[in-house]
Structure 1
Amino acid sequence: MEALISLVIGVFTTCGVYLTLRGRTFPVVLGLTFLSYAVNLFLLVMGRLTIGSPPVITDGIMNYADPLPQALVLTAIVISFAMTAFVIILSLKAHMELGNDHVDGKHKS
C-alpha cells in the first residue's frame, strides 16, 4: 500500500512540475493543481494510514486515526480550490488584455 501511495505522489509531482514548466497559462494552472494534489496526499499519508479506525478517541478503542492531517488536508483543498479559481480568472483577464496565453506575454499567437 505504501509503495502505491508513493508512486501516486511521485506521478502527481512529476506531472505537476512538467506542466508548470510549460509556456501557456492553462498547463501551468493544471500543473499547480497536480502539485497541490501531491502535497495533500503527502500530508494525509504522514498521519499514518489506518484503515477502519475512528478519527476520534472514544472509550474502549485502543487504535485510532490522527485527525490533524485530515483537518489540514480539508483546509488545503478549500484553499487550493479558491486559488485555482483566482488563477484561472487572472489568466483569462491576461489573455483578454494581451491577446495570447503565453506565460511571459511576449509571444504572438
Structure 2
Amino acid sequence: MDASLTLIVIMAVLFACGVYAMMERSLTRVLIGFLLLGNATNLLLLIVMGMPGKAPFYDEEGAVSDPLPQALTLTAIVITFAVSAFLLALIYRSWQLGQADTVEDDEEDIALRERTDAEDELFDDESTSDEEDAPTDFVGVVTSPITVLHMRDHPAIHDDAPVDVADGYSASDDDGEDRT
C-alpha cells in the first residue's frame, strides 16, 4: 500500500489541531475541534482504503476495492453530523441562558483545584491492610457477588422436564416424584 506522505501529514495536523481546539473552554472551539477530528478520521479511512479498484460485484475479475472503509467513512460522516448538530444546540442554549458559550467552573471544580497535596496523600493513606489482602477473583469463594442456581436447586419451582441422570443428579427429587 502506497500512501501519500502529504495525506498523512495533513491527517496528523488535523488530529493535532482538533485535539488542541477541543481542550478549550469555549463550546464553539470544541465544535470546531470536533469537526477537525471528524475530517481527520475520514482522511485516515481514505488513506487506509488503499488503491482504488473495481466495484466488488459478483464475478468481477481483477483488483476489487474494499467496501468496508467506504462504509466506515459514511458512518463517520453521519456520526460527525449528529454530534455537531447536538453541539450547535448546546451552544445556542448556552448563548440564550448566559450570553456566552464558555464553560464556567462550579463549586466542586474550585474546591478540587484548591485541595493541597497533603490532603491528597491523606486520602491515599486511608486504605487499610485488609483491603490489600482481599481477593480479586470471586470464583469458588463463598462470598461471591453472584450465585448461580439451577432450576432444580430452587425449591419453589417444580419442572416436569426430563433431567439427564449422567450429570450426577438423581432422577427423583425431594418429594419422591420420578422426573425421568
Question: Shorter-normalised TM-score: what interval?
Answer: 0.7 to 0.9
1:19 is matched with which residue? Answer: 21
TM-score, length basis structure 1: 0.82
Q: How does 1:89-104 map to 2 (within 5 A)?
A: 89-104=89-104
Post-superposition CA distance 1:11-50 (Å, at most 9, x none): 11121012112221111100011011111221232222x1
CA distance in 2, matches of 1:67, 1:60: 14
Structure 1 spans left out of the alignment, 5+ residues: none
Change (3 A) 1:105 1:92: farther
Corresponding residue SS for 2:36 = helix
**How well do the aligned residues superpose, as a CA RMSD in angstroms?**
1.9
2:170 is matched with which residue? Answer: none
1:40 is matched with which residue? Answer: 42
CA distance in 2, matches of 1:13, 1:95: 28
Q: Report the structure number with the largest CA radius of gyration.
A: 2
Offset, 1:96: 1.3
Q: How does 1:49-60 map to 2 (within 5 A)?
A: 50-51=51-52, 53-59=53-59
Identity of aligned residues (%): 33
CA distance in 1, matches of 2:65, 2:104: 45
Offset, 1:59: 3.2
- Amino acid paired to 1:4: T
CA contact (8 A) 2:54 2:62 kept: no
CA distance in 1, matches of 2:10, 2:28: 22
How many residue pairs match? The answer is: 104
Query: Which is richer in helix?
Result: 1
Structure with the bigger RCO (C-alpha within 8 Å, sep 6+) is 1
1:5 is matched with which residue? Answer: 7
